[in-house]
Structure 1
Amino acid sequence: MAGRGRGSASSNGALAVALLCAAAVILSSAMPAEAGTTYHVGDAAGWTHNVDYGQWLAGKTFHAGDMLVFKYNATYHDVAWVSKGGYRHCVVSPKGGRAPVYRTGNDTVRLPSGTHYFICGSPGHCQAGMKLAVKVY
């Protein structure tokens, strides 16, 4: 058994361990970042009338990457992502040049950092309280 000294086996073992560690580091860096928290707006009631969204927000801290899920009856409601002025005046006004309006009845929005404003664009609904302002860290 020429060429196999006592140190060969331990050198190969150390090399194998080093390669496994390197592979683990590479794989962990290639994995996607941890997904944010998903919040169902209005909890079981969803996005509808007679929900106190200010109370729903109480105690929640939102971070960039968190998701808001709006579930609602698309026959009567929608979700408009609006500017601060649009929120204040219940008008579907552009945020950054356009106001995305969602109408599927089951919409998910990933939140970037900043303050974001959502209203129901159906006539009178925002004035009746279907509006949400979310501060995201």
Structure 2
Amino acid sequence: MAFTQFFVLAIVAILVPSILAVEFMVGDDQGWTTNYDYQAWAKGKEFHVGDKLVFKYPEGAHSVIKVNGTSFQQCATSAGNGILTSGNDVIPLETLGNKWYICGVAKHCEVGNQKLSITVSEGSSSAARKSIAPMYYGWITAIFGILAMVMV
């Protein structure tokens, strides 16, 4: 019986953070492109550890490069920066703090303002989480119900 309770708690511990995580489509329906105000897009959004950024764009047309604050301001990259080019790049936000992303193609960052700066914080208090959470409560209840039936 104790093993079963441990098993149920382990499942809950795994499921709850993934339910509270939010995927942000960078630029919404515009995607990752030039001549778009990504700072205005990010304004008012709360980014938390566990969330994901999704950069969508035509493969080969752009790239996503994580940089530091100085490189962000200068639209500069270095050999150590990882370059994503799939057109459907998903970046998990795993640590707290400021994050900076730029496009490394041509002068998209400098001329086209294709860059994003966000701050990742702890917790899960955003309005987006609150609006989607009730949908998942039903799934959690169903899972617990099934587990309870299996245990009896």
Scaled by the length of structure 2, the TM-score of the pair is 0.69
Q: Which moved more, 1:23-32 or 1:113-122?
A: 23-32
Higher helix share goes to which structure? 2
Pair 1:107 & 2:92 matched: no
Distance, in Å, in 1 between the alignment partners of 2:52 and 2:30 is 17
Q: What is the aligned length?
A: 115
Letter in 2 for 1:64: V
The answer for unaligned runs of 5 or more in structure 1 is 1-18
Deviation at 1:22, TM superposition (A): 6.2
Report what 1:126 is aligned to. 109
Pair 1:77 & 2:58 matched: no
How do residues 10-29 of structure 1 correspond to structure 2 at under 5 angstroms? 19=1, 23-29=4-10
Deviation at 1:34, TM superposition (A): 1.4
Kept in 2, the 8 Å contact 1:85–1:93? The answer is: no
Distance, in Å, in 2 between the alignment partners of 1:59 and 1:22 is 44
Report what 2:146 is aligned to. none
Distance, in Å, in 2 between the alignment partners of 1:27 and 1:47 is 41
Kept in 2, the 8 Å contact 1:83–1:93? The answer is: no
Letter in 2 for 1:27: V
Report what 2:119 is aligned to. 135
Q: Which moved more, 1:100-109 or 1:32-41?
A: 32-41
Distance, in Å, in 1 between the alignment partners of 2:22 and 2:9 is 21
Identity of aligned residues (%): 34
Report what 2:45 is aligned to. 60
Q: Considering only CA atoms, is the larger Rg found in Structure 1 or Structure 2?
A: 1
Letter in 1 for 2:5: A
The answer for unaligned runs of 5 or more in structure 2 is 122-152
Report what 1:34 is aligned to. 17
Pair 1:117 & 2:100 matched: yes
